[in-house]
Amino acid sequence: MAQIDYYAAQVNALLAKAGTSVQPSTTGNLADLTTTNKDNLVAAINEVKAAAGGDYAERAEAAAAEAEEVLESIPEDYSDLSAEVGDLKSAIDYTNERPGYKLTIWSGFPIHGYRVRSSDGAVESNAACHMTDFLYIKDLTRLKAYLFANDKTYAIAFYDSSRTLLTAISEIINTEGATWKSYDIDLTGVSYDSACYIRVTSVYINGLGGEAYLYCYQNGDIVAEIIGINDNLDYINSRQQNYVYFNYPNAYNNVGIINLSGGVGTNTNCRYTDYIDISGLSTLKAKTYLNNSGTAIAFYDASKNFLSGISKVNTEMETDYIIDLTDAAYSSAKYVRLSNYVGTDDTYGQTCYIYAYKNKDLLDCILHYKAANKLYGKTIAFVGDSITSTDYVLPCWPQIIAARTNCTALDYGISATTLAHDPDTHLNDYHFGHLDPEEIGYDADDPSTWTTGNCVCERWRKVSQTADAVVVMCGTNDWHTPRGEYNSTDTTTFFGGLNVLILGLLDRFPGKPIVICTMMQYGTDYNQTNYVDLRNRIINVLPVTSVMSVRERAECIKMKCEQYGIYCCDVFDKSGINGADTNKVYYRGSGDITHPSAYGQAHLANIIQSALEDVI
């Protein structure tokens, strides 16, 4: 009794430190708790979490420190209570409603081994599932999620202010497995008027499901994200799972300039960022567009007091910076703010950015001024094979582009498919599924039925015409496809498939931007013979029945793009992706030198996003 009284008093002190006057309705006084009604203490903590408001963040640091002291003092036989007090500390992020465009990183899916049951919305034990706690969504306008789901689990459950279940989303598939599912939910609809909280569940079994994520938007801007189902993932975790990334798209959202004293000055031609937490980072690489009238990069301590700043000593504008945060000069720095000059019509400073690193790992923390975001609100269709699909390292490059720019990505990537028609790949479907030939009316011996399948020269017919632009990357798997006649429409050949694909896209998307990419190199392609007159070899030397190397197939794509005036994004020759380095950083590893790693995915996103911005 005495021990639990002591810990109850410590939690009372913690609640007071957090600045709340909420008292547990079930107990009246925390000091009255006994070992037999410890659950009431848990209820009290949850009640505080539910009621915490926007100013909670101002006292979060002190509350967290107090929570640490409580945790350290609780003996092992009170481990359950310890976990609940720790849960209060972790609630600091998702319960505060930060104003403006300060990106909040929520914890991942920290409640392991549980799910929201689809039969009645109850939480139940399930070793194959991981679940979030209650996440406050009242002021959000949109959710985007990618979850591994089945019909036994509510993938996303919505609750009112009392945390009573309102509605939920589940998947109607076989009960034994799960499938990847993308969600895009408009929270402004009447269906979600009363929704204050969500809980999200993702299946995680046999190594599958670890790439689940959730993006939360407020009036078009990403304001929070959950990545993965590992404990407390955030942007300083060195990408331990190779898919964690962090970004602030369009973060220069304040009108004004950071002056030479670290304060905010009036300047309608400039924009500056909110405070950006740089705790745990080792390096910043940045480009700004600002002269000596203001501070390009300003550093602040934990209390947001100005420490130092970097500004130009002359009137030159665009400048690159590499800042070693391990230097003693930055030992007290916890936050940065950046300034950027945009002019009277948002035409300057379009290329400003900041990259954040920890221990040489690029964390993909990227800031861009909003005027540079030509893809904002657009719908982009991405068509291709496994390099484009969501079957390997996530987020894949279309997902990264979507997250950075707030465009909608329609991913038509299907693994193990070819550009040309091939009866062995024709029936391949999303996530390694297969089409039923009888259901789609496919006869391998009847060319009139070939348009039913998923070879890229046929799949363009399935791409939604709501797309504002189309990106295609294909040809990786056509190692056995014959060259064919240059202007042929025989889709069993490489040139024939290209002609049918391009003409079909031009007809289906008149006047809309189309980008066709050459495939990325395999990890050993840099060793291939570099033919001096490659095009002459393809057209005049190779027989029409000859199969081609991946370099030759890439050259065919470039030739056809030139013929039709299509924008070609030359990933093969000009992206820098190759396997020449010892570590083969662009590839997944463990013998896979075909599919991109997290670093490779981010690099592809950079290259292809730039191509899209050139044509939109």
Residues 401 and 612 sit within 8 Å (Cβ to Cβ)? yes
Task: Give residues with Cβ within 8 angstroms of 600, minimum separation 6.
Answer: 393, 520, 577, 585, 586, 587
Cα torsion 594, 181, 502, 510 to 10°: value is: -150
Between CA 612 and CA 466 the distance in angstroms is: 17
Burial 32-71 (b: 16+ CB within 10 A, else e): ebeeeebebbbebbbbbbbebeeebbebbeebbebbeebe
Between CA 601 and CA 241 the distance in angstroms is: 14
- When pLDDT is averaged across residues 90-115 and rounded to a whole number, the result is 44
Q: Is the pLDDT of residue 290 over 80?
A: yes
pLDDT in tens, 480-517: 999 999 999 999 999 999 999 999 999 999 999 999 99
User: Which parts of 205-267 are beta strand (E)?
Assistant: 213-218, 221-227, 254-255, 257-258, 264-265
Residues 346 and 371 sit within 8 Å (Cβ to Cβ)? yes
Q: How far apart are the first and last CA of the chain?
A: 69
Between CA 588 and CA 598 the distance in angstroms is: 8
Between CA 155 and CA 157 the distance in angstroms is: 7
pLDDT of residue 479: 93
Q: Is the pLDDT of residue 387 over 70?
A: yes
Q: Is the pLDDT of residue 229 over 50?
A: no
Question: Tokens standing for 131?
Answer: 């679940």
* More confident site: 408 or 514: 514
pLDDT of residue 90: 47
Q: Is the pLDDT of residue 455 over 70?
A: yes
| pLDDT band for position 391 (cuts 50, 70, 90) | confident
Which range has the worst mean pLDDT, 94-108, 478-492, 560-574? 94-108
Please give the backbone phi and psi of residue 497, each rounded to the nearest 5 degrees, phi first: -65, -40
In 3D space, the residue among 284, 283, 342 whose CA is nearest the CA of residue 317 turns out to be 342
| pLDDT band for position 600 (cuts 50, 70, 90) | confident
